Amino acid sequence: MNPEGPDRLVRPYLITGGRTQPSDELPLETLIEATPHALDLVGTLRFEPRRVVELCRSPLSLAEVAARISVPLGVARVIVADLAAEDLLKIHRTVPAHGPDVPLLERLLDGLSSC
Amino acid sequence: MAGGFGVGKTTAVGSISEIDPLRTEAAMTSASVGVDDTSGVDAKTTTTVAMDFGRLTVADGLVLYLFGTPGQDRFWFMWDELTRGAVGALVLIDTRRLADGFPAVDYFEQRDLPFLVGVNVFDPNHTPPLEEVRTALALSDDVPLMLCDARNRESVRMLLIELTSHALKRAKAARPG
């Protein structure tokens, strides 16, 4: 069953303006960071968008954003994708779907060996 | 991080995570349509699936996320999402309930995702012989198999190092040239 399929039912529809499909596909571990523009505007934002921008002053994963604002992942995806489209959040590049490449695995192994 | 219920997945994530493990949820809708076309019955049910996760900053600008699979193995869609882009999988095993590990082992074998099996030792006086575990789980010789203690950060770190080495070896072998 595809969680993003047309039959997906997300009850907190008010948060997302009734939409259940994010405009962009975001993996769970995607790091999200507020843009300087968003930090200037944070006082004018309300509700979840404001909380997300405040949480993402330093980079935070999509999964953490969802957990910290207590919404299901699908809802967090919609909010984050919208804020990114308005240049309020920067989406950092993550590992491609087929998995990390050799240089990244080498960096990870180095890091794990000394942490 | 996969394995049966109560095998220590969340404990292991918590041992090495730099944050208290967080819980996130995804909603799943399943639709079932009646076989009698004239009735037009269309029943839908929504289930929420929860999973715990933690974070480990391994180097400047490099963050490793550890996700525990949902308790019920039937939420395969969530496993698909978790394995996309993953370094690999750790399958935790409790030798008293070995069969609980079968679905996870099957899943990662079928997806051809690098995985390691960690036998969580609950009683240090009764350490299971690893070769018997390998045979019982029908693991091929190239799948790393180790004893571990899910409560111990160092032990979980060793699992991660071993899994990453295994993934690296496979990635190098698959790389052309």
Q: Does residue A26 lie within any of the structural domains?
A: no
pLDDT per residue as tens digits for the range B1-30: 999 888 999 999 999 999 999 988 876 655
Instruction: Look up tokens 């994530």; give the residue.
Output: B13
Report CA-CA distances (Å) from A24 to A21, B32, B85. Answer: 8, 28, 17
Q: Does residue A43 lie within any of the structural domains?
A: yes
Which residue of A lies nearest to B172 if distances are taken between CA atoms?
A102
Residue closest to B8 by CA, chosen among B118, B107, B125 = B118
**Number of separate domains in chain A:** 1
Q: Does residue A83 lie within any of the structural domains?
A: yes
pLDDT per residue as tens digits for the range B117-174: 999 998 888 888 999 999 999 999 999 999 999 999 999 999 999 999 999 999 999 9
The DSSP line for B138-167 is T--TTS-EEEE-TT-HHHHHHHHHHHHHHH
Q: How far apart are CA A49 and CA A19, in angstroms?
A: 15
Of A8, A29, A101, the CB nearest to B171: A101
B13 interface with A at CB cutoff 8 Å: no
Percent of chain B past pLDDT 90, that is, above it, reads 64
Please tell me which residue, B91 or B77, carries the higher pLDDT value.
B91
Q: Does residue A9 lie within any of the structural domains?
A: no
Please list the residues that pair with B93 across neighbouring strands. Answer: B119
Q: How far apart are CA A63 and CA B78, in angstroms?
A: 13
Q: pLDDT-derived band of residue A112, with 50, 70 and 90 as boundaries?
A: very high
Residue closest to B111 by CA, chosen among B128, B145, B88 = B88
Chain-chain contact of B25 with A112 (C-beta, under 8 angstroms): no
pLDDT at B87 over 70: yes
Instruction: Look up tokens 């779907």; give the residue.
Output: A97
List domains and CATH numbers for chain B.
Answer: 2-174 (3.40.50.300)
Which residues are within 8 A (CB) of A84 and not within 5 positions of it... i.e. 6 or more apart? Answer: A24, A32, A90, A91
Of A5, A73, A106, the CB nearest to B24: A73
Chain-chain contact of A113 with B87 (C-beta, under 8 angstroms): no
Q: How far apart are CA B24 and CA A63, in angstroms?
A: 7
Residue closest to B83 by CA, chosen among B120, B59, B51, B45 = B51
pLDDT at A11 over 60: no
Chain-chain contact of A109 with B161 (C-beta, under 8 angstroms): yes
Which residues from chain A sit within 8 angstroms of residue B86, using beta carbons?
A: 95, 99
Q: Does residue A19 lie within any of the structural domains?
A: no
Which residues from chain A sit within 8 angstroms of residue B23, using beta carbons?
A: 67
Which residues are within 8 A (CB) of A102 and not within 5 positions of it... i.e. 6 or more apart? Answer: B168, B171, B172, B175
What is the reported pLDDT for B72?
A: 64
In A45-84, the residues whose Cβ lies within 8 Å of chain B are 59, 61, 63-64, 66-68, 72-74
Q: Does residue A107 lie within any of the structural domains?
A: yes
Which site among A112, A113, A114 would you substitute to test the B interface, given the most B Cβ atoms closer than 10 Å to its Cβ?
A: A112
Chain-chain contact of A67 with B175 (C-beta, under 8 angstroms): no
Which residues from chain B sit within 8 angstroms of residue A28, using beta carbons?
A: 24, 65, 67, 81-82
Q: Does residue A11 lie within any of the structural domains?
A: no
Q: Does residue A109 lie within any of the structural domains?
A: yes
Token couple for B47: 């289930």
Count, residues in chain A: 115
pLDDT per residue as tens digits for the range A36-83: 999 999 999 989 999 999 999 999 999 999 999 999 898 999 999 999
Which residue of A lies nearest to B75 if distances are taken between CA atoms?
A1
A85 interface with B at CB cutoff 8 Å: no
Q: In terms of residue numbers, what domain contains A46?
A: 31-113
- How close does chain B come to A25, measured CA to CA in Å? 11
What is the reported pLDDT for A38?
A: 95
Task: Judge if pTM exceeds 0.90.
Answer: no
ipTM above 0.90, yes or no: no
Residue B67 falls in which region: left (phi positive, over 0), alpha (psi -120 to 50) or beta: beta
- How close does chain B come to A2, measured CA to CA in Å? 6
The DSSP line for chain A is --TTSTT---S-TTTTTT--S-SS---TT-EEEE-HHHHHHGGG--HHHHHHHHHTTS-EEHHHHHHHTT--HHHHHHHHHHHHHTTSEEEPP---TT---HHHHHHHHHHHHT-
